[in-house]
């Protein structure tokens, strides 16, 4: 597949890294020659320096025979014009654009992106994606990671095990025997910083971070078995009133449950603007690190703090300060993945990575075969893929134990015609129409895709 990626920033670089590692023909375009040089020097990609919306620049990037273009520059307008030029001049079949402006994303203007107007096949909103992920974390305080699959019937959850876990030092094989009706599978473990897919004889240890694929209905029981208790959350403090903070606050207001939320925003104009858009949320103007202001926000009685300013260090320090005064749950927005190593010493419960969420959204639309969802784990260390089995897929008709799975991959759940998410077993037969969730380390993604690929038509 030949792909042009416009924008060599964090998202563009990460997508290029994914696609180039899977032997796709990738060209990256940016008007910053240094960023282009970094990408072409460190990745197996071609680089073109220039404005991505210029036809001559796209022509030099090989747009005449490209299969897909991903417009992920910092400018919404450049991304939109790039897709228009890609369609009108070069007839590129698949066009994906990252758009930040809220007005562009308003549902009443959705007709704008039809083929006869502004031909964009997929619109990705980073702020919207991050806000959804942040809300998911707030509503699942027992986990450090959470992502729904199979239309909400299954869920991937990340848990940090402590001494209260009831199944420490128990081989995973025995878990299946002890809890035979539990529709949950441990798909990965992070131990001492290393992420791996466990063997059946592997034992769980205190301090492990485990990823579990579970039937959504069995999630409460799964949490109980692994030593986690849930608590209803009603009081939230959001530090940062930008797009993400505003979307989260409005979603909390519009939710089914009555909650009490406060937003702290350092910029007065921004604070006044979002105060006009919120009905029941209290907006405070000031520094989210100011202890007096946090006390005014009643932080000692809050159930959770979400720090989503545009500065990673502010988010980390605000969460650390909130945790120090007794807030039971803190979530930080962290753009720089190298800073996630500070989460444990600062006692931060979970984080949201805008790059990872945006990358996951884009990957969902460029995977081979009948892929329905993709979720990126860590700093592109692994992916969780939801895919449907077609009649021509190599694994159709095989028992799970008879498939030559890559060493770094495992099936977490399988959905048959009845619609329920099942725990897979070795004698489970994979049939046409089945939907499966697979956890796979990044190096094994191409082989997993091959097992589900229908043919060379990517679209």
Residue 127 is predicted with a pLDDT of 82
Q: Which residue has the higher pLDDT, 315 or 257?
A: 315
- Averaged pLDDT for residues 206-226: 91
Indicate where the chain has its CATH 3.30.70.1450 domain(s).
142-225, 358-452
Residue 459 is predicted with a pLDDT of 34
- Averaged pLDDT for residues 307-328: 90
Residue 70 is predicted with a pLDDT of 93
278 Cβ partners below 8 Å, 6+ apart?
246, 249, 250, 253, 263
Q: Over pLDDT 90: what percentage of the chain? A: 29
Average pLDDT score over the chain: 86
DSSP line for 316-366: HHHHHHHHHTT-S-EEEE-S-GGGGGGTTTTT--EEE-HHHHHHHHHHTTT
Nearest-angstrom CA–CA distance, 312 and 125: 20
- Supply 156's token pair: 């991937």
Quote the crossing angle between the two packed helices 354-363 and 126-138, to the nearest 10°.
110
Residue 456 is predicted with a pLDDT of 35
- Averaged pLDDT for residues 79-91: 91
Nearest-angstrom CA–CA distance, 398 and 197: 22
- Averaged pLDDT for residues 196-220: 91
Indicate where the chain has its CATH 3.40.50.720 domain(s).
2-124, 232-327
Q: Are 293 and 265 in contact (CB under 8 A)?
A: no
- Averaged pLDDT for residues 310-321: 91
Residue 55 is predicted with a pLDDT of 94
pLDDT above 90 (res 200): no
Q: pLDDT for 390-415, tens place per residue?
A: 877 888 888 988 888 888 999 999 99
112 Cβ partners below 8 Å, 6+ apart?
104, 118
Confidence category of residue 59, pLDDT binned at 50, 70, 90? very high
Nearest-angstrom CA–CA distance, 170 and 188: 15
Q: Candidates 3.30.70.1450, 3.40.190.10, 3.40.640.10, 2.60.40.790; correct CATH number of 142-225?
A: 3.30.70.1450
pLDDT above 50 (res 457): no
**CATH topology (fold) of 232-327:** Rossmann fold (3.40.50)
- Supply 418's token pair: 């009845």
pLDDT above 70 (res 198): yes
CATH class of 358-452: alpha beta
Confidence category of residue 4, pLDDT binned at 50, 70, 90? very high
User: Whose structure tokens read 């940090």?
Assistant: 160
pLDDT above 60 (res 454): no
User: Whose structure tokens read 């020097």?
Assistant: 41
Residue 22 is predicted with a pLDDT of 67
pLDDT above 90 (res 263): yes
- Averaged pLDDT for residues 105-114: 64
Q: Which residues of 101-130 are buried (b: 16+ CB within 10 A; e: fewer)?
A: eeebbeeeeeeebeeeebbbbbbbbbbbbb
Confidence category of residue 54, pLDDT binned at 50, 70, 90? very high
Q: pLDDT for 7-20, tens place per residue?
A: 988 788 878 887 88
Nearest-angstrom CA–CA distance, 296 and 3: 52
Residue 116 is predicted with a pLDDT of 67
Nearest-angstrom CA–CA distance, 329 and 351: 11
pLDDT above 90 (res 28): yes
2-124 maps to CATH 3.40.50.720: yes
C-alpha distances out from residue 265 to 126, 290, 310, 459, Å: 20, 11, 11, 43
pLDDT above 80 (res 452): no
pLDDT above 90 (res 50): yes
């Amino acid at each position: 597949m030949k792909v042009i990626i416009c924008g060599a920033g964090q998202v563009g670089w990460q997508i290029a890294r994914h696609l180039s590692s899977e032997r796709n023909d990738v060209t990256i375009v940016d008007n910053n020659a240094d960023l282009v040089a970094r990408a072409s020097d460190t990745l197996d990609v071609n680089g073109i320096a220039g404005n991505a919306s210029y036809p001559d620049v796209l022509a030099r990037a090989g747009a005449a025979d490209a299969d897909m273009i991903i417009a992920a520059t910092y400018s919404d307008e450049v991304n939109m014009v790039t897709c228009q030029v890609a369609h009108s001049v070069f007839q590129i079949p698949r066009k994906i654009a990252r758009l930040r402006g809220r007005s562009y994303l308003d549902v009443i203007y959705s007709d704008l992106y039809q083929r006869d107007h502004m031909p964009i096949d997929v619109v990705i909103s980073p702020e919207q994606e991050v806000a959804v992920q942040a809300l998911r974390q707030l509503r699942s305080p027992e986990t450090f990671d959470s992502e729904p699959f199979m239309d909400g019937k299954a869920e991937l959850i990340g848990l940090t095990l402590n001494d209260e876990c009831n199944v420490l030092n128990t081989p995973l094989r025995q878990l299946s025997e002890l809890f035979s009706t539990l529709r949950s599978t441990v798909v990965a473990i992070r131990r001492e910083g290393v992420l791996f897919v466990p063997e059946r004889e592997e034992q769980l240890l205190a301090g492990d971070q485990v990823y579990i694929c579970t039937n959504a209905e069995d999630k409460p029981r799964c949490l109980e078995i692994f030593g986690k208790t849930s608590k209803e959350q009603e009081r939230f403090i959001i530090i940062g009133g930008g797009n993400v903070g505003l979307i989260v606050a409005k979603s909390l207001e519009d939710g089914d449950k009555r909650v009490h939320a406060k937003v702290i925003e350092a910029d007065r104009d921004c604070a006044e603007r979002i105060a006009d858009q919120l009905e029941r949320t209290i907006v405070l103007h000031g520094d989210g690190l100011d202890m007096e202001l946090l006390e005014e926000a009643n932080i000692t009685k809050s159930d959770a703090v979400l720090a989503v300013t545009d500065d990673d260090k502010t988010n980390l320090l605000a969460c650390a300060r909130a945790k120090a005064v007794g807030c039971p749950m803190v979530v930080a927005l962290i753009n720089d993945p190298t800073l996630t190593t500070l989460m444990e010493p600062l006692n931060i419960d979970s984080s949201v990575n805008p790059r990872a969420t945006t990358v996951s959204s884009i990957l969902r639309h460029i995977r081979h075969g009948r892929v329905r969802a993709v979720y990126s784990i860590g700093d592109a260390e692994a992916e969780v893929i939801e895919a449907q089995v077609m009649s021509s897929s190599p694994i159709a008709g095989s028992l799970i134990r008879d498939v030559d799975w890559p060493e770094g991959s495992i099936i977490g759940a399988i959905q048959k015609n009845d619609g329920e998410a099942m725990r897979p077993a070795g004698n489970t037969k994979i049939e046409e129409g089945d939907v499966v969730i697979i956890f796979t380390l990044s190096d094994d993604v191409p082989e997993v895709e091959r097992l589900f690929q229908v043919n060379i038509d990517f679209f």
